[in-house]
A and B are shown apart, each in its own frame.
Chain A
Amino acid sequence: MKTSFLILAIVLLFSSCRKNELDKIEGPSLKDQYGKFQVINEFKASKDSVDFYNGQSVYFEAEFSKTVNWTLSITGMTSGAKKVFQGTGKIIDNTSTTWNGSTTQFPVFKTENCKAVLKFDSEPDTFVVYVKALSKKNNTGFLIADFETPFKSGWSSFIQSGANMDFQIKSDNTAAEGNAHYNMAGTVNWDWLIGLVNFKATAYGAPVFPLNANPGSNYFNVLIWGEPGLTNSLVLFQFQEDDNLNGTFTSQNEDMYSLQVNVNWEGWKLISVKYSDLTCLVNGAPATPSGNKQLEPNKLMQINMLHLANPSSGYAKTKLDYMIITQNAPLEP
Chain B
Amino acid sequence: MKHLFIVLLFLLSFILNAQDEKRIEFIGGARSVLSQSSIDTEKEDTITAKKQAGGYALIDLGIKIKPSTSTEIVGMFRIKNDFGGFWGSGVTFDVRQLYVKGIALKKIKYQLGNIDHKLTPFTFFNHNNDMLTQSVGFNSVKQEVINYETFYSKNTWRQQGAIVDFALKFPNQQNKVLFNGFITHLNPAGTVVLEQMFGGGKMNFVKDSTYALGVNFASVFDVKGTANNTAAYRNNVTSVNYAYTLALGSINLKFDGESGASNQFKSDKSINRKDDYFVYLNSTLSIFKNKLKIKGAYINVGADFRSAGAQSMRVDYALSNSFYTRYTNDQVIRGVSMYDLYNDATLYRSGISTGIMNYNPAINNIQPYGLATFNRAGFMGAIELNDSLKIVELTVNYNRLKEIRGQGTLLKRNFDEVKSTIKYSLSRQFKWKKSQVISLSSVYQYTNRRSDFVYEDIDLNSYQINIGLENEIVKGLSIVGNYFIITARGNEILPFRNENGDVTNFTPVDYLLKQEFYCLGLKYNFSEFTHLSLFVEQCKTATNGYDKYGINQALIYYIMKF
| Chain A residues packing against B (C-beta within 8 Å) | 1, 5, 8-9, 12-13, 15-16, 18, 20-31, 33-35
Closest CB in chain A relative to B231 CB, distance in Å: 23
Taking CB as reference atom, which chain A residue is nearest B243? A5
A-B contact pairs, 18 of them (CB 8 A): A1-B207, A8-B242, A12-B259, A15-B259, A15-B279, A18-B404, A20-B404, A23-B410, A24-B303, A25-B405, A25-B410, A26-B408, A27-B503, A27-B504, A28-B503, A29-B408, A30-B455, A33-B505
**Top 8 closest pairs, chain A to chain B, by CB:** A27-B503, A34-B455, A30-B408, A16-B279, A21-B405, A26-B407, A25-B406, A26-B503
Interface members, chain B 278-332 (any A CB < 8 Å):
279, 281, 298, 300, 302-303
Closest CB in chain B relative to A210 CB, distance in Å: 42
Give Cα A24 to B506, complex, Å.
Answer: 17
Residues of A within 8 A of B404 (CB): 18, 20-21
0/1 per residue, B486-527, Cβ < 8 Å to A? Answer: 000000010100000011111010000000000000000000
Known interface pairs A16-B281, A21-B404, A30-B408; 7 further A-B residue pairs with C-beta atoms within 8 A, sorted by A's residue number: A1-B207, A18-B302, A25-B410, A30-B409, A30-B506, A31-B456, A34-B508
- Assess whether B453 is interfacial by the CB under 8 Å rule: yes
Closest CB in chain B relative to A6 CB, distance in Å: 9
Give Cα A23 to B375, complex, Å.
Answer: 15
Residues of B within 8 A of A33 (CB): 408, 455, 505-506
Residues of A within 8 A of B240 (CB): 8
Closest CB in chain A relative to B198 CB, distance in Å: 26
Where chain B touches its partner, the secondary structure class is strand
- Assess whether B338 is interfacial by the CB under 8 Å rule: no
Which among B255, B302, B409, B504 has the highest number of chain A CB atoms within 10 Å? B409
Give Cα A34 to B407, complex, Å.
Answer: 14
Residues of B within 8 A of A27 (CB): 407-408, 495, 502-506
Is the pair B409, A29 in contact by a Cβ cutoff of 8 Å? yes
Residues of A within 8 A of B493 (CB): 30
Residues of B within 8 A of A23 (CB): 410
Partner of B279, one of A8, A12, A25: A12
Is the pair A18, B300 in contact by a Cβ cutoff of 8 Å? yes
Interface members, chain B 363-416 (any A CB < 8 Å):
375, 377, 404-410
Is the pair A16, B298 in contact by a Cβ cutoff of 8 Å? yes
Residues of A within 8 A of B504 (CB): 27-28
Closest CB in chain B relative to A96 CB, distance in Å: 20
Residues of B within 8 A of A20 (CB): 404
- Assess whether B550 is interfacial by the CB under 8 Å rule: no
Residues of A within 8 A of B277 (CB): 15
Closest CB in chain A relative to B407 CB, distance in Å: 5
Residues of B within 8 A of A8 (CB): 213, 240, 242
Residues of A within 8 A of B99 (CB): none
Is the pair A30, B502 in contact by a Cβ cutoff of 8 Å? no
Partner of B377, one of A5, A13, A18, A29: A18
- Assess whether B179 is interfacial by the CB under 8 Å rule: no
Give Cα A21 to B409, complex, Å.
Answer: 11
Is the pair A21, B303 in contact by a Cβ cutoff of 8 Å? yes
Residues of B within 8 A of A22 (CB): 410
Taking CB as reference atom, which chain B residue is nearest A20? B404
Give Cα A292 to B495, complex, Å.
Answer: 61
Give Cα A9 to B240, complex, Å.
Answer: 12
Is the pair B408, A25 in contact by a Cβ cutoff of 8 Å? yes
Closest CB in chain A relative to B489 CB, distance in Å: 21
Is the pair B453, A31 in contact by a Cβ cutoff of 8 Å? yes
Interface members, chain B 184-234 (any A CB < 8 Å):
207, 211, 213
Is the pair A5, B244 in contact by a Cβ cutoff of 8 Å? yes
0/1 per residue, B326-361, Cβ < 8 Å to A? Answer: 000000000000000000000000000000000000
Partner of B453, one of A9, A15, A35: A35
Give Cα A35 to B408, complex, Å.
Answer: 12
Is the pair A9, B255 in contact by a Cβ cutoff of 8 Å? yes
Given the contacts A26-B406, A27-B495, A12 and B257 also touching, CB distance less than 8 Å? yes
